[in-house]
Amino acid sequence: MTGRPEFLFPLFGALEGLDGIGPKTAKNLAALDVETPRDLLFLLPQSGIDRRLRRSVRDVLPPHVATVEVEIGNHIPPRQRGRPYRVIVQDAEQEFQLVFFHARGEYLASLLPSGQRRIVSGRVEVRDSIYQMAHPDLVLKPDEVDTLPEFEPVYPLTAGITQKVLQRAIASSLSRAPDVAEWIDAQQLARAGWPTWREALQSAHAPAGTADLSTETPARQRLAYDEFLAHQLTLALARARRRRSAGAQTRGDGSRVQPVLAALPYKPTTAQTRAIAEISADMAAEHKMNRLLQGDVGSGKTLVALVALLTAVEAGGQGALMAPTEILARQHMEGLAPLAAEAGVTLELLTGRDKGSERQRKLAALADGSIKILVGTHALFQRDVQFADLRLAIIDEQHRFGVSQRMALGEKGAHADILVMTATPIPRSLALSQYGDMDVSLLDEKPPGRQPVTTSLASTERLDEIVARLQQAIDEGRQAYWVCPLVEESETVALTAAQSRFEQLRAVLGADRVGLVHGQLAPADKDAAMARFVAGDTRVLVATTVIEVGVNVPDATIMVIEGAESFGLAQLHQLRGRVGRGSGASTCLLLYEPPLGEVAERRLKLMRDSDDGFRISEEDLAIRGAGDVIGTAQSGLPRFRIADLERQADLMAIAQSDARKLLHDDPGLTSARGKAARVLLWLMEQDKAIRLIHVG
Ligand code: ADP
Ligand code: MG
């Protein structure tokens, strides 16, 4: 099956083919992200209107929709222009008025002939104790009562589209939905009591009451699961393909790792030991490793990375560690070098700043294998960087990249094992969808003896007091970061703010005691500013957010974050992780601009009360929603039409194991269920994944 199966064509044709849709409506629907009949199937009603026939408008509590049979009385045309046209009607108990603005009399006379009976449905209001129904949604003859929908689905609307148009077009799409073979595991289907795909669609579009709009209904659950399953199949296919591509079998003999572990002033945590074992097993196996090492700030990822790199060296190969920025690459270098020295292994640093003969020398040493471990930035992946025998590529802080970028990167690394490190504590549901193609090692335990960071909140109105306290702390020999507000729209505005805070702090604390770093500094100046702070020459470092995740200055024990409400919690947690690294007690002060909104207050209080990155991210997700936690655009997160990533994390987990199992049993997707799963992928527009299916 190389192309989309023909029986799905009707769902992927032009919208204009559907009842009641012309080119203009089709264009308007694009605003709802609806471009094909298939998209309409997945556009589910968000609410509904109860249109059950009632005896009287008195049976509902206005303002509310009521459907009643009435006898039509007098027509009262407007006496002045701009006044409404009224029709007096009488239901079983109550006389009321149908009200029409800008109405044509003849039309209303034929629609509502005096003396006859009609069923009218619309929103009832009471004005000056008179019951009114303005512009009824429905007017039916009594013998048409059977056509009355008891509960009418209400779809999300966009300009130029009415409910009627949508309802009709959706009904027309539904009639095109074919019967499909089941792609969900039979046991799962039975256990959950889910309907077939078609039945699920039919029933999701025909709610019988408000309860049917819940994400918990079997129909909606199934449709959500379908989305998750398609997504997880794509990830599982990518994973399977990578695992098929032979990796080198990298087995260490302990000759480099043992001396390092012996020289450590501490023992690895249980979590570190477990991660190291998982990684070594993966590296030794035939398949290519594609593993995520996830651990909160300070959980000790560096040691795990080092052991993996040394294992590559023990096996006679090379390792590379890539950091997202120059500063971080340098810090890794500085952190790893003394440990690597214990093992007698040389590290080298390669960044975009290496030019000319220096760069040539490094590249040559890399190509002849004399450099064993290379630390660097993106420069590592440039075309002219050739390794003699690259066994392991570690990518640090990769949460900045999405699934597709990572896939591209993996292809570059030929058969090297890949280890991605992230300090972003991602909630499980997001981890599953973002990293579902990877195996995960979790550092869920911090090394003992950490000093917790005391966090407090303060309004910028108390700035003077805060600066005075800062002065005192500096006089006691402490160092502080001062992070300026995040300004999404404009780097220039952010810079101006940082600049003026810098000037002000200098004026109070002394010109030589305050430094400034920001994104627009030349790299050399940035390094110089960082270096002065690391050396303790400057005592306060004013920064836009360039003080990166991972920067290590043990004497810095104060973190002031201005405009804290503008940051994501994960980001705040990362920033806070910059302090509390040394032996001194550390503090983090979250400064906010009053007045603080309710949500913002909840978020900042959560930060104050918890030091657990995972808990923070879970709650942040609950407070804000998935896209915002990682930043939608860069998150690489798929957009689901029906599924709700936050509330249906359990389904995502089931989908992941189901997808992996299906591919394990049927790598080429050739069984009956495998073929059905292909249809699902086509239906979910995962065309890319289809190309990953194993042939042969
Ligand atoms: P991460 O990169 O995960 O944020 P690091 O690897 O930088 O964390 O480790 C943070 C600090 O903890 C470092 O100073 C490191 O030397 C120390 N450390 C790492 N593992 C342990 C351990 N098992 N016991 C005590 N200290 C440790
Ligand atoms: Mg680190």
- Tens of pLDDT, residue by residue over 504-551, are 999 999 989 999 988 788 878 887 888 899 889 999 999 886 665 456
Residue 581 CA to ligand 2 centre (angstroms): 12
Residue 535 is predicted with a pLDDT of 87
Lowest mean pLDDT, pick from 29-38, 291-300, 634-643: 634-643
* Comparison of pLDDT for 203 and 386, the residue scoring more: 203
Do 398 and 424 form a contact (C-beta atoms < 8 A)?
Answer: no
Q: Which of 158-162, 312-316, 486-490 has the lowest mean pLDDT?
A: 486-490
Cβ atoms of 570 and 425 closer than 8 Å: yes
Q: Which of 14-28, 96-110, 498-512, 635-649 has the lowest mean pLDDT?
A: 635-649
Q: Is the pLDDT of residue 685 over 60?
A: yes
Mutate to test the pocket of ligand 1, among 261, 266, 444 (most ligand atoms within 8 A of CB): 266
CATH class as words, domain 257-443: alpha beta
Q: Which atom of ligand 1 is nearest to the CA of 577?
A: 4
Q: Whose CA is nearest to atom 10 of ligand 1?
A: 298
Mutation choice for ligand 1 from 267, 303, 395, CB with most ligand atoms inside 8 A: 303
Query: Which of the given ranges, 217-226, 295-304, 589-598, has the highest pLDDT on average?
Result: 217-226
Of 285, 339, 279, nearest to 311 (Cα)? 279
| Beta strands 479-483 and 540-543, pairing class | parallel
Residues 523, 462: Cα–Cα separation, whole Å: 34
Percent of the residues in the chain that have a pLDDT greater than 90, as a whole number: 47
- Average pLDDT, integer, range 347-372: 91
Q: What is the pTM assigned to this prediction? A: 0.66
The pLDDT, as a whole number, for residue 488 is 59
pLDDT of residue 481: 94
| Lowest model confidence (mean pLDDT) among 37-41, 156-160, 332-336 | 156-160
Domains 6-47+161-209 and 257-443 in one fold: no
How far apart, in whole angstroms, are the C-alpha atoms of residue 5 and residue 324? 42
The rounded Å distance from CA 143 to ligand 1 centre is: 78
Name the CATH superfamily, with its identifier, for domain 453-610. P-loop containing nucleotide triphosphate hydrolases (3.40.50.300)
State yes or no: pLDDT of 309 exceeds 90.
yes
Is 611 a residue whose pLDDT tops 50? yes
What confidence category does residue 43 fall into, taking pLDDT thresholds of 50, 70 and 90? Answer: very high
Query: Residue 666: is its pLDDT beyond 90?
Result: yes
Q: Is the pLDDT reported for residue 434 higher than 80? A: no
Distance 449 CA to ligand 1 centre (A): 11
* Residue extents of the structural domains in the chain: 6-47+161-209, 52-148, 221-244+653-692, 257-443, 453-610
- Tens of pLDDT, residue by residue over 50-59, are 899 999 999 9
Query: Ligand 1 centre from 266 Cα, in Å?
Result: 10
Please provide the average confidence, as pLDDT, over all residues in the chain: 86
- Report residues whose beta carbon is within 6 angstroms of any ligand 1 atom: 266, 268-269, 272, 295, 297-303, 423, 447
132 Cα–ligand 1 center, Å: 71
Please tell me the least confidently modeled range out of 37-46, 140-149, 193-202: 140-149
Q: Are 681 and 230 in contact (CB under 8 A)?
A: yes
**pLDDT value at 630 more than 60:** no
Ligand 1: centre distance to CA 441 (Å): 16
**Tally of CB atoms within 10 A around 358:** 11
Q: Closest ligand 1 atom, CA of 299?
A: 3
Joined together, the tokens standing for residue 597 give 């909104």
Q: Topology of domain 52-148, per CATH? A: OB fold (Dihydrolipoamide Acetyltransferase, E2P) (2.40.50)
How much is the average pLDDT of 126-151? 90
Ligand nearest to the CA of 548: 2
Going through 360-416 in order, the beta strands assigned E by DSSP cover 373-376, 390-396
Architecture of the CATH domain 6-47+161-209: Orthogonal Bundle (1.10)
Does residue 633 have a pLDDT over 50?
A: no
Buried b (16+ CB within 10 A) or exposed e, 258-276: ebbbeeeeeebbebbebbb
Long-range contacts of 26-31 (CB under 8 A, 24+ apart): 28/158, 28/159, 28/160, 28/161, 29/158, 29/161, 31/158, 31/159
